[in-house]
Chain A
Amino acid sequence: DVKVTQSSRYLVKRTGEKVFLECVQDMDHENMFWYRQDPGLGLRLIYFSYDVKMKEKGDIPEGYSVSREKKERFSLILESASTNQTSMYLCASSIGQGRGNQPQHFGDGTRLSIL
C-alpha cells in the first residue's frame, strides 16, 4: 500500500513565522503535490513537482514555496505566515507519466492555524 506521511496532523503558528510542512512518500513516486482545502472552495493545488528539484506552480502559489531535494520528500514553506493561510493542507503523490497515468494518493492532512 502507498503511504504518504505528513509530519504533523495539527499545527499552530503565529503571523509572520516561517512555517514548514513536510511530506514523505514510500512508493518511489515521481510526482508530488500540495493542496489546500477550505470549506466551500474544495481542493486547490498550490504547487507540484514531477521530479527531484523540479517544481511547478499550481492555482494558488502566492505566499508559498516548495522544496524537493530528495525523491521521497516534498516540503511546503509558508515564507511569512498570515491568518488567511489557516487551512487544511494535503500532500499527495503519484507515479510519473512515463509509467502510465495513475491516481494520486493522499496523506492524512495537516490542519494549520495561524494566529
Chain B
Amino acid sequence: AQSVTQPDIHITVSEGASLELRCNYSYGATPYLFWYVQSPGQGLQLLLKYFSGDTLVQGIKGFEAEFKRSQSSFNLRKPSVHWSDAAEYFCAVLPSGAGSYQLTFGKGTKLSVIP
C-alpha cells in the first residue's frame, strides 16, 4: 500500500520569504501526485497535480512543485509567501494503475505567516 509523509507538522515563515514544503511518498511505481490547500473551516482546494512529463509543475496562487523520482519526493515551493497563504497543506498520491480510486493523504503541514 502507498503512503505519504509530510515531515513538517508546522512551519512559520515571514511574509515575502520563500517556502518549501516537503512530501515523500512510498509506492512501487510513479503515482499521480497532488497538493491541496485547506484554509480554516474550509474544504480542500487543488493547488497542482503531476501525472507525467515535465517534473516541474506550476499551480495556482504562484505555487510550483518538483517531482524527483530518485528521492520519491514531490516538494511544494513558492518564491515569496503572502499572508493569505497561511493554511494547511496536504500532499496526496493516487496509484497510477487501472481501477485505482483511493487517494492517500499525508497528515498535512500547517503554514503560519508572520507579517
Residues of A within 8 A of B (CB): 4, 31, 33, 40-43, 45, 48, 50, 56, 58, 90, 92, 94, 97, 101, 103-109, 111
Contacts and interface: CB of A to CB of B under 8 A. Distances in A.
Interface string B32-58: 101010000111111001010000000
Q: How large is the interface on B (under 10, 10 to 19, 20 to 34, 35 or more residues)?
A: 20 to 34
B51 A101 contact: yes
A43 B105 contact: yes
The dominant DSSP class at the B interface is loop
A58 to B, nearest CB: 7
Interface of B: 32, 34, 36, 41-46, 49, 51, 90, 94, 96, 98-103, 105-108
A90 B90 contact: no
Contacts of B42: 108-109
B53 to A, nearest CB: 14
Contacts of B46: 103-105
A106 B36 CA distance: 10
A106 B42 CA distance: 9
B43 A90 contact: yes
B106 A48 contact: no
B14 to A, nearest CB: 26
Contacts of B96: 101
A108 B45 CA distance: 9
Contact of B98 (A58, A94, A97): A97
A87 B14 CA distance: 32
B90 A43 contact: yes
Contacts of A43: 44, 90, 105
Given A90-B44, A108-B43, A109-B42, 5 more contacts: A41-B107, A42-B107, A50-B101, A92-B44, A97-B99
A109 B107 contact: no
B102 A58 contact: yes
Pairs A-B, 5 closest by C-beta atoms: A106-B43, A106-B44, A42-B107, A108-B43, A43-B105
